Amino acid sequence: MRVAISSDHGGNNLRKEIVNLMNEIGIEYQDFGPHTDDSVDYPDYAKPVADRVASGEFDRGILICGTGIGMSISANKVKGIRCALVHDVFSAKATRGHNDSNILAMGERVIGPGLAREIAQTWLTEEFEGGRHGKRIQKITDLEK
Ligand code: RB5
């Protein structure tokens, strides 16, 4: 699995934590920055990740800002993206199993690094359950027409 990851300035520290996690558990990724602590606009950093997940170049994406909200709103504007804003482990598991979410958004100012790592690891390893959930994903896709 290949993961694209980015943040804004409000998510820089947590992005680095999640990059460390992916190194530890052997997940291939590309880090789309930012590579300075300058203030940036989150849609500019959501777009490269969302576009690459939507095109299939990457299997999944992780987006982090202060709240995760701006990143999730931005990513969900891109066709084919199902971005889930998650701050608990139960939802991380459920959104993979039921929604087949392809991008995870988290807020660095909302949760600590320990919980964020657990959420990311759960989300990265849980499989989509398919079955009745597949029909619902198709209905989400139909909303894009
Ligand atoms: C940046 O100050 C902050 O607005 C951003 O990181 C994010 O929380 C937006 O949703």
Residue range 2-40, pLDDT digits in tens: 999 999 999 999 999 999 999 999 999 999 999 999 999
Residue range 46-98, pLDDT digits in tens: 999 999 999 999 999 999 999 999 999 999 999 999 999 999 999 999 999 99
- pTM higher than 0.85 for the full model? yes
Give catalytic status of residue 83 as yes or no: no
List, in sequence order, every beta strand (DSSP E) within 14-141: 28-31, 60-65, 83-85, 103-107
User: What is the pLDDT, as a whole number, of residue 50?
Assistant: 99
Burial 3-17 (b: 16+ CB within 10 A, else e): bbbbbbbbbbebbeb
User: What is the pLDDT, as a whole number, of residue 133?
Assistant: 97
**2-143, CATH topology level:** Ribose 5-phosphate Isomerase B; Chain: A, (3.40.1400)
**CA-closest residue to ligand 1 atom 8:** 66
Report how far ligand 1's centroid is from the alpha carbon of 8 (Å): 8
User: What is the pLDDT, as a whole number, of residue 75?
Assistant: 98
**CA-closest residue to ligand 1 atom 6:** 66
Can you count the helices (H) and strands (E) in the chain?
Answer: 6, 5
Tell me if 65 CB under 6 Å of ligand 1.
yes
Tell me if 70 CB under 6 Å of ligand 1.
yes
Report how far ligand 1's centroid is from the alpha carbon of 111 (Å): 14
Q: Where are the domains of the chain?
A: 2-143
Percentage of residues of the chain with pLDDT beyond 90: 100
User: What is the pLDDT, as a whole number, of residue 31?
Assistant: 98
List, in sequence order, every beta strand (DSSP E) within the chain: 2-7, 28-31, 60-65, 83-85, 103-107
Residue 65 and residue 107 in contact, taking contact as beta carbons nearer than 8 Å: yes
Tell me if 45 CB under 6 Å of ligand 1.
no
User: What is the pLDDT, as a whole number, of residue 19?
Assistant: 98
Residue range 121-135, pLDDT digits in tens: 999 999 999 999 999
User: What is the pLDDT, as a whole number, of residue 32?
Assistant: 98
